[in-house]
A and B are shown apart, each in its own frame.
Chain A
Amino acid sequence: MCWQKPASLNKYLTLAIFSLLILPVFAADLQSNPDLEGVASDLSSAASDDDSDWDWSGITAEDTTPAEVDSKPVLPTPGTRLRDTTIASPDYSASTKPAMAIFINMPTFEVIPSQKNAEMHPCSNCHQWTKGDTSPRILKRPHDDFELKHGLHGKGKFWCMTCHHLEGSGGLVTLEGEKIDFDDAYLICSQCHVNQARDWVYGAHGKRIGNWQGTRQVLNCTACHYQHEPAHKPRAPMEGPVIRMGLERPEHWKPLGRGAGNNGHHHQEVWQ
């Protein structure tokens, strides 16, 4: 009996020594293998916020410093992952609309013009006669028919004049003071909702209409989100499916909460 002990001990010892020898080799392999590293970083970036690694800092006023303009990042080639590349710094001088800057190097798309409020559009219908009062106050007619429920903005952070201006025929204005038509409302939204704007351009957000191929025709942000209260309100669903024969619910059927079957059957515990 007593001679067995050293034998098994030997086995474990050998294993331990072997693993001690072999582990650093693996570790070194992992460090040196760029493929594995890429996977690891991919995983970590996917685990964190999907949009966090997308660098919007490129749109800051890089063009003011000529040294940085020279070191423009490589443009994303079609088919490459966006997170693998960085967006090229915008050329403000080339774009007529500075607010357009974040859409540079993105795929082309066509925006369906927003539906305009026939009575209120354009602002100059009334405001060529009456001077607009731009001071923050409690709104009176005819502007009292809505309440600004735009996220945090309604709570005294933003005021009408943050997005609207009254010069000329009136319209929208960016935070930087650039005047924008109502049809380009997405430029206003994308100032803050940059991740949504990117998804919208690439197709993961928003409503494309017409074809599945060719130029992407998308609805403007304001077609689906009422700009002063962007959260969607609940709506009645359309009719459900016909209940299959034999699976009709009792009159006072109530779901049993988590674990309730979809058909009134009570599954036995063993099957779950």
Chain B
Amino acid sequence: MSNGGPAKMKTDNAKPARRHFLKKLGGLAAAGGVATATHAAWGGHTLSDTFADFFQQHYREMSDIEIRETLERIERKAKNRYGVDIRCKDTAAIEGVLFGYAINVSKCRGYRDCVHACVKENNLSRDTQYIRVLELDRDNLNLHEGDHYYNSDTVPVEGKHYFPMQCMHCDNPPCVKACPVEATWTEPDGIVVVDYDWCIGCRYCMAACPYQARHFNWGYPKLPAEEITTETHYLGNRPRPRGVVEKCHFCIQRTREGRQPACQEACPSGARVFGNLLDPNSEIRYVLENKAVFRLKEDLGTEPKFWYFRDR
């Protein structure tokens, strides 16, 4: 598989160095090998960063100091790789908040504005999209008959309806159970997150997810440096390494600070409703209590926190 655009030049000649290092992993003798590999092998960071990366703990097991150092390291790496000053945070979940999402299917008109807002906001590789919008015949809800690649001159097409899908942030997530290294888990505010540095890239979670919500970075993300979103979160939209799984995280870097997710902000038809499920006065609660809502594949018992509803 090809590497990402900006990273390609740096990594092509450096691939063997990493393998070399991993082979000799037995002891510190390998340090010499790494030193000769120069910083290009590791996305352009120093020997000390390389070692710190290698011995980096699981996100939930790091002390405050370790997390701070990790965030600084992530910022340094992004600077070296893309030449962009990013800010990486680890904003904690807001107390008493459980995020939920609802989409008004009769309002969605298939513009795909949400898709591209998401790509931009979350520093996605330009060949990956978290949100999939399906085009279906009217009154047809067999999702396997949906068309991802619709490309009509104008939407909505007569006789079709549109159905956006993304990570459902299940309350009983099968992906989390499938992960052999616990690199993915549910945060206190209900967001299912991935520790990209702990993920080993086995893609078991992708197989376990019934909603095709997870995506794999085959190469370094194809990320134009001038389009990088610089406000990032450790569990969210920071530039991803190669060979890890990623997914929608309800724009954790925005929503934990009270802002709307990028998809909701971008939706021109107001089909998207986002809010706190624990707040009885929230919009999402109004929708759940007053509209005929449904969820996808409810029979699997995954308990998605992602609802769909219609006006009538």
For residue B84, CB closer than 8 A to chain A, the reply is no
Q: Does residue B148 face the partner (Cβ distance < 8 Å to A)?
A: yes
9 contacts between A and B (CB under 8 A): A82-B289, A203-B273, A203-B283, A211-B258, A212-B261, A212-B275, A213-B276, A234-B154, A240-B150
- Binary interface encoding of chain B residues 272-307 relative to chain A, with 1 for a CB under 8 A from any of its CBs, else 0: 011110011111111101111000000000000000
Q: Assuming A204-B273, A208-B264, A241-B132, what are 4 further A-B pairs, CB within 8 angstroms? A: A224-B268, A241-B115, A262-B148, A262-B149
Say yes or no: B148 contacts A240, CB within 8 Å. yes
Q: Tell yes or no: A258 within 8 A of B by CB.
A: yes
Count chain B residues whose beta carbon lies closer than 8 angstroms to a beta carbon of A: 59
> What is the interface of chain A mostly: helix, strand, loop, or mixed?
loop
Using known A-B contacts A212-B274, A236-B154, A242-B127, determine if residue A204 contacts B147 with beta carbons closer than 8 Å: no
Which of B283, B286, B312 touches A50 (beta carbons < 8 Å)?
B312
| Contact call A262/B281, Cβ cutoff below 8 A | no
CB under 8 Å from chain A, chain B span 141-193: 144-157
Task: Give the A-B contact count at a CB cut-off of 8 A.
Answer: 134
8 Å CB contacts to B: which residues of A208-232? 208-214, 216, 219, 224, 232
By a CB distance below 8 angstroms, the chain B residues around A107 are 281
B-side contacts of A81, CB under 8 Å: 289-290
Q: Are A208 and B111 in contact (CB under 8 A)?
A: no
In the complex, whether A118 has a CB less than 8 A from a CB of chain B is no
Q: Interface SS of chain B: helix, strand, loop or mixed? A: loop
Contact mask for chain A residues 255-268; partner B; CB cutoff 8 A; 1 contact, 0 none: 10111111000010
Tell me which of A214, A236, A241 contacts B149 (CB under 8 A): A241
> Does A235 lie at the interface of the complex (its beta carbon under 8 Å from any beta carbon of B)?
yes
Shortest CB–CB separation between residue B297 and chain A, in angstroms?
A: 17
CB-defined contacts of B148 to chain A, threshold 8 Å: 240-241, 262
Q: In the bound complex, what is the Cα–Cα distance between A207 and B258 (angstroms)? A: 17
Name, among A50, A79, A237, A267, the residue most crowded by chain B CB atoms within 10 Å (CB to CB). Answer: A237
In the complex, the answer to whether A249 meets B149 with C-beta atoms within 8 Å is yes
Residues of B within 8 A of A (CB): 104, 109-113, 115-116, 127, 129, 132, 134, 137, 140, 144-157, 255, 258-261, 264-265, 267-270, 273-276, 279-287, 289-292, 309, 311-312
Q: Please, how many residues of chain A have a CB less than 8 angstroms from a CB on the other chain?
A: 45
Find chain B residues with CB under 8 A from A211 CB.
258-260
Q: Does A206 sit at the interface, judged by CB under 8 A?
A: yes
Residue on B nearest A271 in the bound complex, by CB: B144
Q: How far is the CB of A230 from chain B (nearest CB, A)?
A: 13
- Tell me the bound Cα distance from A234 to B154 in angstroms: 5
Q: Are A241 and B129 in contact (CB under 8 A)?
A: yes
Q: Are A208 and B270 in contact (CB under 8 A)?
A: yes
Of A202, A204, A235, chain B has the most CB atoms within 10 Å of the CB of A204
Please tell me if the beta carbons of B116 and A240 are within 8 angstroms of each other in the complex. no
Residues of B within 8 A of A209 (CB): 260, 265
